Amino acid sequence: MKAVVLEKPSTANELAIQEVPIPKVMPGWILVKIKAVGINRSEIFTRQGDSPSVKLPRIIGIECAGEIEDPSDSPLQKGQRVVSLMGGLGREFDGSYAEYALIPSSQVYPIDNDMDWVELAAIPEIYYTAYGSLFDTLWLKRGETLLIRGGSSSVGLAALQLAKSVGATVISTTRNTNKLEFLKQYGADFVLLDDETLSEQLFSLFPNGVNKVLELVGTVTLKHSLKLLSHHGVLCMSGILGGEWVLENFEPMMDIPSGTYFTQFDSGVNFKEKLLVELFNHIEQHKIKVSIAKVFSFDEIHKAHQLMESNAANGKIVVVN
C-alpha cells in the first residue's frame, strides 16, 4: 500500500510516499481502508520534530474517514463507514497517511449518514474539539458572549458555527488583517484584530468582559485572555496555535482573576463517543455546512502541509485517497 512514512524531521517538500506492507490484522484491531483524512496542526509539529513522544519512523495522521476492510473480532461489518481520531493514532502507532490503517477497535466509530468522504473527513478532530470545548467544558448557552482567540483557525471557524447555532454572541480574533472581513462574512458578531489594543477593543464593546473564552492560541496569550473574562466567566484552553506548550512564570493566585475559572479540553484524553454522536446529530439538526478550505489528492500531501503552514486556509484541509 502507499503510505507517508516519516523517517526524520522534515520539511513539507520532503514528505514522500512509499510502498509498505498492508498491516496484518490482529485481535482487538480493525483494518480500515482510508478514504479521506483531515490535515491537522499537530501533524505539522510532528513532521517538524516538535512532538518528542512520537518515535520515528512513523506513519503520521491523527484522524480519518473510511470503510471497514477487515473487522477482525469486532461487531462491525466489512464496508461499514467509520471515522477514527486521536487515541494514539499516528503517534503511538501508525496513522492515517496511508491507504490502510490498523486501528484499535475501541476507537473506530461507525457513522450512519450519507455525507461525502471529504465532508466527513473534515469533521472528526476539529468539530469534536470545538463541540467538546463549547458544550462539555464551557457549558456555552444561548445569549452568552464567547470570545474565540484564534478565530480564523479551522477549530475557531468550527466553534463559530457551533456557537452561533445555539444563539451565542461570538467575538472572533485574528492577527491577520486580511481575515477580518472573512470572519464577519462567516458569521462572527464582532471581529477584533489581535494586537496590543485587543483589551481596549473588547472592553469598549463589553465593559464587564465576556462570559466565555475559547483559547486556541495557547500559552502565549493565556494570561491576557483570562483578564478579558467577566465575573464568573470561564476560559477553556483547547489549542496551541502559538506553538508553545509550556507556560513559564504562571502564578495561579495572580494570573487567574478572582471569581473566574480556567479549564481545558483535550480531544485525545478521555475521548467520549457520546460527544461524537451528539456532534453529528447537532450538525444535522442545525444544518451546519462544514467548512472546507481545499482538497488535495494523496500524491499532493506535501502541498496540503504547505497550505497549512502558510496560515492561508480558511477552513479544513482534506486529502483524499
> What's the topology of domain 2-123+290-320?
Quinone Oxidoreductase; Chain A, domain 1 (3.90.180)
pLDDT at 240: 85
pLDDT at 314: 84
Q: Boundaries of CATH 3.90.180.10 in the chain?
A: 2-123+290-320, 125-264
104 closest CA partner among 32, 5, 21, 51: 32
Give the phi and the psi of residue 255 in degrees, each rounded to 5. Answer: -90, -20
Render pLDDT for 105-135 as a digit per residue (tens, 0 to 9): 999 999 988 899 999 999 999 999 999 999 9
CATH superfamily of this structure's domain 125-264: Medium-chain alcohol dehydrogenases, catalytic domain (3.90.180.10)
The torsion region of residue 106 among left (phi > 0), alpha (psi -120 to 50) and beta comes to alpha
The torsion region of residue 155 among left (phi > 0), alpha (psi -120 to 50) and beta comes to alpha
pLDDT at 242: 82
Residue 8 grid cell? 526524520
Q: Kindly give the parts of the chain with pLDDT less than 50.
A: none
- Identify whether the C-beta of residue 58 lies closer than 8 Å to the C-beta of residue 5: yes
